[in-house]
Amino acid sequence: MNDNPQLALFPDIVIIPGILAMLGLIMALLARRKHRNPWLWGTSGFFLFPIAIWVLAFMGYLCPMCKQALTKKQWKERICPDCGDLRTQDVRRAC
């Protein structure tokens, strides 16, 4: 029998922040895929995951070079209006 309230509380104290941290990590990875700030989105995911995931889902990709928003078509073709063809650019630095 567990009559100690501190012990009974212990699993929630560990599990809930653990789940939130996982959700924050997922948000950070999704944000990075779209070339958005992983720290900002990871923090949003930690505190407001249900809202943050919806907002990010509707946000488009950013150009990895100039951070300008790209349309779906531009991202598919990897063409930025400012930087030109992204496949010929060295974008590894920026990612």
63 binds Zn ion (CB under 5 A): yes
How many CB atoms lie under 10 A from the CB of residue 67? 12
Binding mask 22-51 for Zn ion (x = CB under 5 A): ------------------------------
Interface with Zn ion in residues 76-95 (CB under 5 A): 80, 82-83
Q: Where are the alpha helices (DSSP H) in 1-95?
A: 5-33, 38-58, 72-76
Residues in contact with Zn ion by CB under 5 A are 63, 65-66, 80, 82-83
